[in-house]
Amino acid sequence: MSRIRIIRHEVVPQCGSFEVRFPDGRPSLYFYFDDLPSRRLRAEVSDRAAVEELAKAFARSEQEKLDRGEQ
């Protein structure tokens, strides 16, 4: 059984993304974070902890769908 993976990307310290990578060929989905509020350019960007929880919750729900055979 293939699993959905979460990959953290952090090229600049305290700024990056969590990539949710699907095993079935769908394009990856990215959740962006920035731990310094003064650098945030978009309202949907939050700190690492909050964004990591969002990415994990999304990956968990999508994995459950894959396990049940849904898409």
Considering only residues 35 and 16, tell me which one the structure prediction assigns the higher pLDDT: 16
Per-residue pLDDT reduced to its tens digit, 17-70: 999 999 989 999 999 898 887 776 666 678 889 999 999 999 999 999 999 887
The answer to whether 64 touches 44, Cβ cutoff 8 Å, is no
Query: For residue 26, what are the domain limits?
Result: 5-68
Q: What is the pLDDT of residue 17?
A: 93
Cα end-to-end distance, the chain, whole Å: 15
Rounded Cα gap, residues 28 and 19, in angstroms: 6
Total structural domains in the chain?
1
C-alpha–C-alpha distance, residues 23 and 43, integer Å? 30
